[in-house]
Amino acid sequence: MNTTVVEANNQELLDACFAIRTAIFVEEQGVPAEDEFDAFDALDTEAKHILLYVDGVPAASSRLRVVENVAKLERICVMIDYRKHGLGRVLIDKLEQMALAQGLEKAKLHAQVQASGFYERLGYTAASDVFMEDGIPHLLMTKKLK
């Protein structure tokens, strides 16, 4: 399995990220599209989107924003056929590297409760009680990067 991660810095790559997010969050998990897509889903925003390819096929995506000098990891998703191959870890590693390159020392994310164990294995700790986001139970999780 040959993986490549690129920054989605043009509309074609961004559209590939959106297709993955639509398949996962909208179709699979039932999040309304108007809730999934927001003002940070344009090329001219501060959000940085990444796209992961497996053997040349778009398989996973995520985005990074800086919120109050903290890296916020968002929209982390892996297509169903590519799960259980460590691709989520590859996404998180890339986002953390991008954050460190920007001089950020802390990361946070809203983890779906069912995925919180995955994030714990990557060094994230729960920093909130369970809350609902888009009809799905979540936890705020944080990690010190340096």
CATH of residue 68? 3.40.630.30
The predicted structure's pLDDT at residue 146: 83
The predicted structure's pLDDT at residue 83: 95
Domain of residue 23 covers: 3-144
Phi-psi region of 103 (alpha: psi -120 to 50; beta: other; left: phi over 0): left
Indicate the pLDDT class of residue 1, thresholds 50, 70 and 90.
confident
Pairing mode, if any, of strands 70-78 and 106-112?
A: parallel
Total count of domains within the chain: 1
pLDDT digits (tens, 9 = 90+) for 51-85: 999 999 999 999 999 999 999 999 999 999 999 99
Which pair of structure tokens corresponds to residue 31? 């999040």
Cα–Cα distance between 75 and 2 in angstroms, integer?
A: 23
pLDDT digits (tens, 9 = 90+) for 3-58: 999 999 999 999 999 999 999 999 999 999 999 999 999 988 999 999 999 999 99
> Concatenated DSSP letters for 106-135?
EEEEEEEGGGHHHHHHTT-EE-S--EEETT
Claim: this prediction has a pTM higher than 0.85: yes
pLDDT digits (tens, 9 = 90+) for 87-127: 999 999 999 999 999 999 999 999 999 999 999 999 999 99
The predicted structure's pLDDT at residue 86: 95
Cα–Cα distance between 98 and 121 in angstroms, integer?
A: 20
DSSP 82: G
Indicate the pLDDT class of residue 140, thresholds 50, 70 and 90.
very high
